Amino acid sequence: MVGIVIVSHSWKIAEGVCDLAREMAQEHEKIIPAGGLDDGSIGTDAQRIADAIVEAEAGEGVVIIADIGSSIMSAEAAIELLEDEGREVNAVIADAPIVEGAVCAAVEAVGGGNMDSVLTAAEEAKETSKL
């Protein structure tokens, strides 16, 4: 199953988004939060994200969904860290809203979707009107 990593500047947001996505796709065990800094403060940490990517990988790749600004740069740095360690990394960053994208990605993944379809499901969430 395609793994999912949720990157936020806030641990609480990352964990909450994972909780919601897990509720909607209960069979998915590889939805991993990567938020905040070690001391609990707001921020992103490339090593924390890299660790989450490794934890989320179950052989079919990882889709990363991030919140704002430097979370994207930190996710890119995390992928580079893993590559620099000589690891084969099959991870992509989705251009998706964090909550809706996570839920759509999780549902697609649990339904047997591959990396491309999970990424597409996450990214198409930004086109869905709420009203």
| The amino acid at 37 | L
Task: Provide the residue-wise pLDDT of the chain in tens; the chain has 131 residues.
Answer: 999 999 999 999 999 999 999 999 988 889 999 999 999 899 999 999 999 999 999 899 999 999 998 999 999 999 999 999 999 889 999 999 999 999 999 999 999 999 999 999 999 999 988 88
* Residue 38 forms part of a structural domain: yes
CATH number at residue 108: 3.40.50.510
Alpha-helix runs per DSSP H in the chain: 11-24, 46-56, 70-84, 98-110, 115-124
* Residue 42 forms part of a structural domain: yes
pTM score, two decimals?
0.95
Q: Which is catalytic among the residues 4, 9, 44, 53?
A: 9
Number of domains in the chain: 1
* Residue 131 forms part of a structural domain: no
For 10, the token pair is: 């806030």
Query: Does the annotation mark 28 as catalytic?
Result: no
Q: Which domain holds residue 114?
A: 3-126
Residue 96 · residue 84 · CB < 8 Å: no
What 81-88 contacts at long range (C-beta under 8 Å, 24+ apart), as own/partner pairs, is 81/46, 81/47, 81/50, 82/50, 82/53, 82/54, 87/54
